[in-house]
A = this chain, B = another copy of it.
């Protein structure tokens, strides 16, 4: 596409009629220019205004994806892969129009190799569907970003979530990918071997590339044995730093926590109201322990002791599955619960990640910043990884309020970077964090990323305008 076109939407060319005809003859009714579908595909879960594609295309096979990519290349039309639309940084928006390639109909389980602890799925399979499909195998797929995202989308954004502290992120749990390249060829990036030293790590290159280097159509993931025992616990703390310091000590001692989630007092208040719970409205940690029956008990005892030494109180067990489910449902619904703190407002959800020794300080300073600017907010996070979110409730018609929230976000990222952290632990870059990415990596690394993008997608067809700007800043 036109490399000089750097103003989103302004430079959007009309979709060539021949391109639309070709798409229609390929996909028949799996291709639509309806306003409703375009609007749905031009928005995500962020507070961004929608940016609509010209057409929505539903692929059902890798070969169809390849054909669509070839059409886009031939007609110089942008292509934006779309999974479940649950991104938070504008990944699926269409700043230059083009084709939104919806992969949700590519939702077949292709293979389960239970003995090898691997599964291969089409990109449109969601994580919940995957876990349902393998429910009789004694295995599970641990990555859980909250939303029921597609496995392809999770790979494309290097997703993680509540279980990452124990099981790693998509970076660690993807063994191999099938990818359609910008020239419409199909490549398999790995094998089902658990490890390999065979050449450049194309798998890790596509994981987290947000659809800008290729279109992921199939994913082979690692599965994990369901633990013999699971238990959960909650514990309240007098202040944020006490909770965070408790987690730091657990991690440093090597306690193999399966999950450890932090909610500030605002978060607890919101889920109490939303879920009719009566948790103390103080900073809270939710723990989950996986292991043998004895191992789980042992972990929990160590954690209880550490928590007590940090002023943790009301350490409350949930060994029954239904109690555990209730707690985790509350955590998963925190987003919706928090929206009720200010009905009618839009949520801006930020994301950063710091070395764990700096986490308490980073959260505290961010909290003070929110308080100082009268923002309705909550801080929640996957604190075992040093990763946290600030959810801010804003009136997105109020420019001053939006600017104040964005300034909090900006300062949080600058703070995280000064602590040798990253501008995004799990949400990705999309449209929104492109400036932060430069701040984080510096000009040489950004140059290398641009070299990669130009080498893999020389016509700038694949999700253009995301992650990095096409042009060198001085050109």
Contacts and interface: CB of A to CB of B under 8 A. Distances in A.
Contacts of A451: 455-456
A202 B141 CA distance: 26
Interface in A244-271: 248, 251-254
Nearest to A421: B193
A387 interface: yes
Given A116-B356, A191-B420, A193-B354, A199 B437 contact: yes
30 contacts: A113-B355, A115-B248, A116-B355, A116-B357, A117-B252, A160-B195, A171-B204, A181-B448, A190-B422, A191-B421, A191-B422, A193-B387, A193-B420, A193-B422, A193-B425, A196-B422, A197-B351, A197-B425, A197-B428, A197-B429, A199-B429, A199-B437, A199-B445, A199-B449, A201-B207, A202-B445, A205-B205, A224-B254, A294-B295, A295-B295
Contacts of A115: 248, 252, 355-357
Contacts of A185: 444
Interface in A172-224: 172, 181, 185-202, 204-205, 207-209, 213, 224
Contact of A449 (B200, B298, B420): B200
B445 A188 contact: yes
A165 to B, nearest CB: 8
A449 B385 contact: no
A454 B252 CA distance: 43
Contacts of A130: none
B195 A164 contact: yes
A386 interface: yes
A389 to B, nearest CB: 13
Count of this chain's copies in the oligomeric assembly: 2
Contacts of A116: 355-357
A169 interface: yes
Contact of A205 (B114, B193, B204, B298): B204
Given A201-B205, A204-B171, A445-B189, A353 B164 contact: no
Nearest to A354: B193
Contacts of A201: 158, 171, 201, 204-205, 207-208
A188 B251 contact: no
Interface in A406-443: 416-417, 420-429, 433, 436-437, 440-442
Given A253-B225, A445-B187, A194 B427 contact: no
